[in-house]
Amino acid sequence: MKFKILSITLLCVVALMGCDEKPANSLVGKWKSDVSKSLDSMHSMKNIPDETKAYFEKDFFGRLTIEYKPKTYSAVLEGEEGIKPDEFPYRIVEETDDYYIVESELLGTKFNKKLFKDRTCYYELTSEWNFREYFCRVD
């Protein structure tokens, strides 16, 4: 009887230990810049100069794919798929239902950026006008 109680207790402890594990990194995967969502966001901003809008409208969005692995990320620009991209370390500092705070390092400088979740996409606030550049999952 004691063995049975000990076995059941041990089984419950092992099962509960699994509940404390952190969920998998939901940022892992490939994300591509989304032209229409990004341009819609830019066009919703009223204070952007026409020449700046023209610059962003001319093949700026939709060309970048970012791949997040568990501890590194890389970026590939359309037309450069044959070139092995550099990988950069990152870590998720905070994740909520609405956003990620991602710490990265570039050229020896650490910085945090906020990626806002939007269904199967995320977006970053871009430029001094703070419109959204959307990246949507491609895998």
For β-strands 109-118 and 99-106, DSSP reports them as: antiparallel
pLDDT attached to residue 30: 96
The parent domain of residue 102 ranges over: 24-137
As a whole number, mean pLDDT of residues 46-56 equals 93
Phi–psi pair at 72, nearest 5 degrees:
-135, 160
As a whole number, mean pLDDT of residues 39-55 equals 94
Band of the pLDDT at 138, cuts 50, 70, 90?
Answer: very high
Instruction: Indicate whether 102 belongs to any domain.
Output: yes
The number of domains in the chain is 1
Three-class SS state of 81: coil
Instruction: Indicate whether 2 belongs to any domain.
Output: no
As a whole number, mean pLDDT of residues 115-123 equals 96
Instruction: Indicate whether 89 belongs to any domain.
Output: yes
Instruction: Indicate whether 85 belongs to any domain.
Output: yes
Q: Are 133 and 124 in contact (CB under 8 A)?
A: yes
Instruction: Indicate whether 58 belongs to any domain.
Output: yes
pLDDT attached to residue 24: 67
| DSSP code for 83 | S
Residue 113 has pLDDT above 70, yes or no: yes
Instruction: Indicate whether 74 belongs to any domain.
Output: yes
CA–CA dist 4, 9 (Å, integer): 9
Instruction: Indicate whether 9 belongs to any domain.
Output: no
Residue 121 has pLDDT above 60, yes or no: yes
For β-strands 88-95 and 72-77, DSSP reports them as: antiparallel
Residue 8 has pLDDT above 50, yes or no: no
Strands (E), the chain: 29-33, 64-68, 72-77, 88-95, 99-106, 109-118, 121-126, 131-137
pLDDT attached to residue 21: 44
Instruction: Indicate whether 113 belongs to any domain.
Output: yes
pTM of the model: 0.79
